[in-house]
Structure 1
Amino acid sequence: MPMLLIKGFYDVKGSQPDGDTVHFTAHDPSEWSLVGGGLGRAVEHSAVGRAKLRLDAIDALETHYGAQRVHQPLQFAHAARDELLSWLGFTDVQRRPDETVTATTPDTVPGFVLTRGTDVHGRCIALAGRGAPPGTSGLEIDVDAAVLRTTVNHHLLTAGLVYPTFYRSLFTSLRAEMATATKEAREAGRGLWPSDVTTTGAKIIGLPSLTDDVVILPKLFRRLVDYLQLGTTSLACFPAFLAGVGDRFSILSTGERCLGLHRVVEATNGQTVRMTHPPEDLLFQDS
């Protein structure tokens, strides 16, 4: 499947990378203009070509969500971030208390991105690779499962450190490979999976439950944070809240098209919430 290849290097000083976002500088800044902005946004980048990547098809636990910078259990949020940077080639990363990177060894590492578009924030949605690229920068190459396996997106799923979160722009063959990697990591008990309660049920008695205790799909976490910040602790009205948010997605196993996560989320006893389908069974509409 064709994706645009851009060659450059990773440089994370002055940024706050997490498990699914990282800064990348294109050797030729003009190549960012070749990225198809399917959501009507060009890639936002500096004059020297530095842009933020949003890693395609994966979602790491949050390290600083929203204006209040709410985080999920940091054991796994930091594990995904640290593995991302280590895999890319950074051997030492120094940070301030607010998680801003102040120095790295080496200063930069070479790599490439494979992309077809941007998100609503102007971030490049990408598969991220390290070292020499598998093609010519500025041109499209065919991306199959073998190429996907050379990216950090696939690596983090294999390590069980991130959740799959699929959108329609992702090719079916690549989605199938990532779903397989997810299932294998879950069955092997790698990374966060032994602690995951997305489908078994998370008991929420307030915001500290989300920040310190339960390990759940980040998209569900974000919706719960937004709901709790309305001032209620009971989850009785959470399904109605989800209906109002109106996430659009399909259930892959049934083909059903849905509007609102309340279609796949159960809330019981005013304190427990669970998803009725695993993350890899959901296909979200790009937004």
Structure 2
Amino acid sequence: MQVITAISELRSVIRAARVKQPALQVGFVPTMGFLHEGHASLLKAARDQCELVVLSIFVNPLQFGPNEDFERYPRDEKRDLAIAAEAGTDIVFMPQVAEMYPSPIRTTVSVSEVTRRLCGASRPGHFDGVATVVTKLLNMVQPDYAYFGMKDAQQVAVIEQMVQDLNIPVHIVACPTLREADGLAKSSRNVYLNEEQRAQAVQLSAALRKARSAVEESWRHLTPREVEEQVREEIARAPLADIDYVEVLDYPSLQTIDTFVSSRRVIIAVAVKFGNTRLIDNVVIPIQS
């Protein structure tokens, strides 16, 4: 496994691999590090599909708001590299901020509509930072496939829209959310939860499971607003939960809907704070007759 910090070296190594093996398929997993089993599952999906697997670890300052946790974001380089090696990664790209942004950036990528709701409304500018850094990384790696987890389903929708609109030649592969044994979605931010918060955080996945069953069984007799209210009531059973949003939207357009429509997909998405830790989770449900 090669660890690379310079963009020029990254491009050179990948170019040489493609010259040596013209039919080479490159898989790419962009992350902000502090890897866990969810990230490892993305790397393994890439390993199963591609001959060359590239992982990036970069805590991107552009996607953090002024009151958010850029400096506090957890980092563990040694552990990250061990997980990457175990998952069969070929190249780990670990640039410093000065390598990615050597001068004040004057060009950003902004995706409209799909960023208006959910985390886009709660965290203004967040997805501009995501779209910009992912565009930069895709230009550097030029992969055939890029892998993203559905825990952040809005991010997946944003990246898919961006890739389509800008004709970026990469296939976006959306991978299932990995969960703890009790249902909590795996997240780098889970380490911030104290014991009581961690115990109550499982109410997010429990509420989503219950809502999913209700929609699958009775969507003709429910409205999206009723489902939202049910989810809110379930999450409120956790006294420490401070709800940011609960929304039922069309997926992947993330437009509001007044009724459930057969043959469409909907997302039930939540963001909840426990103390200073903000957790997100969701389920995407195909509406079937």
Task: Work out whether the TM-score is over 0.5.
Answer: no
More helix by share: 2
More strand by share: 1
Structure possessing the higher relative contact order (Cα contacts under 8 Å, 6 or more residues apart): 1
Q: Aligning the two structures, in what range does the TM-score lie when normalised by the shorter sequence? A: under 0.3
TM-score, normalised to structure 1, is 0.28
TM-score, normalised to structure 2, is 0.28
